[in-house]
Chain A
Amino acid sequence: MPLNRDRIGTEYPSYTYEVSREKIREYAAALGETDPRYFSDGDDCVAPPTFAACFTIIKGGQAMFTDAGLGAHPALVHGAQSFEFGDEPLRPGDVVECTPRIADITSKGRNEFLTLEVDCRRQGSGDRAVLSRGTIVFLGSAPQRESTGDAEVSA
């Protein structure tokens, strides 16, 4: 079953995430980071850029996977990912409000490509903390008509 293209543009409810010192440390350790600021007990503690993965990849995809009307299925791979960062790195105590949105669904061959954007803004100021854009490849579910490159639109 192909994904429901009417869902393009759908915004899911926002969730909040609070950045903590220990989580920064755990994430930095998992990547073998050595910058002492990632492990600091002081005010200079900051998160590595891709710390954003902790609150955008799984949490960001949750609403989409539980949206029965979209038709997401488990035969998938993570095809691509981008992060655009705000002016300041995240620090312990920062709270971000994250809004997931289906930006696009396309197909190529037998596979479908869903772009999930998660717009993460600082609570209070509303400033951009990070914009996450993930491409999830759903294997084998592309509508047949499109898989041939046929421009005809089915009703």
Chain B
Amino acid sequence: MSDLTPGTELPTISQTSNLVTSVMYAGASGDMNPLHYDESFASNVSPTGGIIAHGMYSMGLASRLLTEWAGGPDRVLAVEVRFTKPWPVNSTTTFGGTVLSVEDGVATVELWADNVGGDRVLSGTGRVRA
């Protein structure tokens, strides 16, 4: 954690979702909902008409960004996100964060994830030991 001044931007992460990332996340997390890898299933039920990434995959990436910046999982106190829009497969999403405040040894960080299509797919906050 190099700079704790409010307004400091965390280094961003860009990730393209595809069938491989979806299937790996499904297997790792145990969430086998076919919406995340089966085209014919997704075409019937998906809000976008196609395959979308797991919301929890996006939360995992936002948390990875926060944890790397904080210096490891032992420093992370809480992560809280809202899944605001779907993340379509085969598109790139950029994850970022901004330091909001530092109080009593705890830094609060705003977290966000913006899809290349323009949608904010995730917004939330993280709290880490400062």
B: residues with CB less than 8 A from A are 15, 21, 24-25, 27-31, 47, 55-57, 59-61, 63-64, 67-68, 72-74, 76-83
Q: State whether B28 touches A30 (Cβ < 8 A).
A: yes
Q: State whether A84 touches B77 (Cβ < 8 A).
A: yes
CB-defined contacts of B21 to chain A, threshold 8 Å: 30
Q: List 23 A-B contacts (CB under 8 A).
A: A26-B28, A27-B28, A29-B24, A30-B27, A30-B29, A31-B25, A33-B64, A47-B73, A48-B63, A48-B67, A50-B56, A50-B64, A53-B56, A54-B30, A58-B30, A59-B30, A77-B83, A78-B55, A80-B80, A81-B56, A82-B78, A82-B81, A85-B76
Question: Does more than half of chain B's interface fall in helix, strand or loop, or is it mixed?
Answer: helix
Q: State whether B78 touches A89 (Cβ < 8 A).
A: no
**Within the complex, what minimum Cβ distance (angstroms) separates B59 from chain A?**
6
Q: Give the number of chain A interface residues (Cβ < 8 Å).
A: 32
Q: State whether A50 touches B63 (Cβ < 8 A).
A: yes
CB-defined contacts of A23 to chain B, threshold 8 Å: 28
Q: State whether A32 touches B28 (Cβ < 8 A).
A: no
CB-defined contacts of A32 to chain B, threshold 8 Å: 15, 61, 64
CB-defined contacts of B61 to chain A, threshold 8 Å: 31-32
Binary interface encoding of chain A residues 86-110 relative to chain B, with 1 for a CB under 8 A from any of its CBs, else 0: 0011000000000000000000000
